[in-house]
Chain A
Amino acid sequence: MDDLIEEGTPDPNPGNAPEFTVSEISGAVKRAIESGFSHVRVRGEIGRLSLPRSGHVYLDLKDDRSVLASVIWKGTAARLAHPPEEGMEVIATGRLTTFPGQSKYQLVIEDLRPAGAGALMAMLEKRRATLAAEGLFDEARKQALPFLPEVIGVVTSPSGAVIRDILHRLRDRFPRSVLIWPVAVQGANCAPEVARAIRGFNALPTGGPVPRPDLLIVARGGGSLEDLWGFNEEIVVRAAAESAIPLISAVGHETDTTLIDFAADWRAPTPTAAAERAVPVRMDLLNWLRQQDGILTRGMTQALARRGQRLADLSRALPRPDSLLDAARQRLDLAAAGLAPALRHRATLARGRLDTAGARLNPALDRAVARKRLTLGQTAARLSPATLQSLIRQGRRDLAALDRRLDPARHARRLTEARTRLDDLSARFARVAETGLAQRRERLAALDRLHQTLGYTATLARGYAVVRAGEALVTRKSGAETEPALEIEFADGKLAVTPLGATPKPATKKPPPDKPGQGSLF
């Protein structure tokens, strides 16, 4: 710097001032800057940040007035505990250099860390919120710790107080199998190694040559926030959250909180507390067990004793068989004693009922019998032998009278008289009949003769004829003319003729016989 100032001192005589080429002056500046600012610490806020593929990191450091271009070469960037983020307040350690081709200078950063606890805390909080939003810290993810783990895996540094504290406390309480997975507990290797240890324990197969732990403790002693920073890294938090083996975190002191604490199933304030939580106290358990044994035995003894007592009580309360029968026997006696009186009583009752019924029955029966008897008496009175005999005598008299009337001689006499009369009447009838017949025969002959005399038939013999038209007598010429056929009766027979209308005077016409004369005959 002194050189720069000296060389920069204005020469009163410009003509004598030495002349530089651009490169010369640039080189001089470069030398001056690089020698003057070979190791500086710069505090500022990360402004524009560029992460090209090359792996180098370009960024601006700035404050409220100025900007300093900076670069982190690839190798350095990979080692950084805290990757740069825009807006991060940082302290960058490095050297200034120039870039003559563009007349620029820049800070080559060799280390970059957050500026102060505030910045780190702000970053931590931001990361915590992000991971919490992902659900890695959810209560539902927490696993129950085993009551008595067989194998405990401890992720920590194999040297140092922490593992000693843990082993010591385990030994006091309950000696167990412990598997130590050695890791760096600070620095750039911390986070990847811790994460790999957690995953490595989980990857151990059950029943393999290396026993799989059933509990993990991730432990580290106290330190600064930066020292503990590895346990805030995302890979560690994720490994802890994903661990299938229940995990206790014991990082730093009680006041130190790292993000692994949120992801762990239980957070121990100290490594010693982790050991206490990991196993119960063996002696306590043995005592408890003895106590249980006592309770068990006592419970059993009491159960037996109580039952024995109850059995005894019940046995006492159990009556003698005789006494069981006594009551029944007494009841039998009483019942037997009461049997006969009861029967008698029953009979008396029945008799009483019978009497009552009988009393109702007798008057009615008596009345009916009396009525019948009266009727019978009257009938019997009518049935006296005297009456019967008088009836018989009367009948006999009637019979005798009838018998007397039955006299055979009288009947014979009446028969003879009747026969005589019959004979007499028969003789008279014969006589009368003969006489009457002769007279009638004679009269008939007389009448016949008279008839012969008076009839038209005799007239026919005398030359007369009868003319008929059908059945009707034709006594007139006018009548005969109108007839189509006529019949003429002669003495010796009838002749059918047809009148000739044009011949009004038939020669044979004769007056009809005297009909009234015939009629008078009959």
Chain B
Amino acid sequence: MSQGKPIGEMSFEEAIRELEQVVTALDRGDVALEDSIKLYERGAALKARCEAKLKEAEEKVAQITLDASGQPTGTTPVEGL
């Protein structure tokens, strides 16, 4: 179930997918008590990760600046769109 990747490095999608698995497993109720406690802890950590990713919902809009030949030189923030 766990790919062994640290939760802190997981993308939102990875975290949410594993959280789903954890919840399904725990909700099914056929895991051993020890495992269910571990599952719960992992689920809580995954949930925290997902929440953190959801809270990172900050809009940043920038435009690529190009030189005369059309090559990118950097970005400039874009306001008012």
> What is A's interface to B at a CB cutoff of 8 Å?
146-148, 158, 163-164, 167, 170-171, 174-182, 193, 196-197, 200, 204, 209-210, 282, 285-286, 289, 292-293, 295-296, 298-300, 302-304, 306-307
Contact = CB atoms under 8 A, between A and B. Distances in A.
Nearest to A210: B75
A158 B78 CA distance: 9
Contact of A302 (B29, B75, B81): B29
A520 to B, nearest CB: 161
Contacts of A299: 23, 26-27, 29, 36, 40
Interface string B34-60: 001100100110010011011001111
Nearest to A214: B11
Contacts of B59: 167, 170-171, 175-178
Nearest to A159: B81
B6 interface: no
A496 to B, nearest CB: 158
B56 to A, nearest CB: 8
27 contacts: A146-B11, A147-B16, A148-B13, A163-B81, A164-B81, A167-B81, A170-B59, A174-B57, A177-B58, A177-B60, A178-B62, A179-B62, A180-B61, A180-B64, A180-B78, A182-B63, A200-B64, A210-B64, A210-B72, A286-B54, A289-B51, A292-B19, A296-B22, A296-B23, A298-B27, A299-B26, A303-B36
Interface residues of B, number: 39
Contacts of B26: 295-296, 299-300, 303
Contacts of A147: 11-13, 16
Interface string B58-81: 111111101000111011001001
B29 A303 contact: yes
A180 B23 CA distance: 39
A282 B60 contact: no
Contacts of A285: 16, 50, 54
Contacts of B22: 296
B33 interface: yes
A296 B27 CA distance: 7
B75 A179 contact: yes
Nearest to A176: B59
A304 to B, nearest CB: 8
Interface of B: 11-13, 16, 19-20, 22-23, 26-27, 29, 31, 33, 36-37, 40, 43-44, 47, 50-51, 53-54, 57-64, 66, 70-72, 74-75, 78, 81
A193 B70 CA distance: 8
A174 B63 CA distance: 19
Contacts of A158: 63, 78
A171 B13 CA distance: 19
B60 A292 contact: no
A296 B61 contact: no
Please give me the 5 A-B residue pairs with the lowest Cβ-Cβ distance, nearest first.
Answer: A147-B13, A175-B59, A299-B26, A148-B12, A177-B60
B25 to A, nearest CB: 8
Contact of B63 (A177, A179, A286): A179
Contact of A178 (B13, B54, B60): B60
Contact of A196 (B47, B62, B70, B75): B70
A282 B23 contact: no
For A175, A209, A303, the residue with the greatest tally of chain B CB atoms inside 10 Å of its CB is A303
Contacts of A181: 63-64, 72
B64 A292 contact: no
A307 B31 CA distance: 11
B81 A303 contact: no
A177 B72 CA distance: 18
B47 A210 contact: no
A410 to B, nearest CB: 137
A282 B16 CA distance: 13
Contacts of A307: 33
Q: Give the residue among A177, A285, A300 with the most B Cβ atoms within 10 A.
A: A300
B74 A306 contact: no
B29 A289 contact: no
Contacts of B12: 147-148
Contacts of B16: 147, 285, 289
Which of B37, B47, B53, B57 has most A Cβ within 10 Å? B57
Contacts of B71: 200
Interface centre among A148, A177, A178, A209 (most CB of B within 10 A): A148
A200 B12 CA distance: 26
Contact of A179 (B36, B37, B44, B64): B64
Nearest to A168: B81
A420 B13 CA distance: 169
Given A148-B11, A181-B72, 11 more contacts: A167-B81, A170-B59, A171-B59, A175-B57, A177-B59, A179-B62, A179-B75, A210-B64, A292-B20, A299-B40, A302-B29
A178 B63 CA distance: 8
A497 B29 CA distance: 169
Contact of A182 (B54, B60, B66): B66
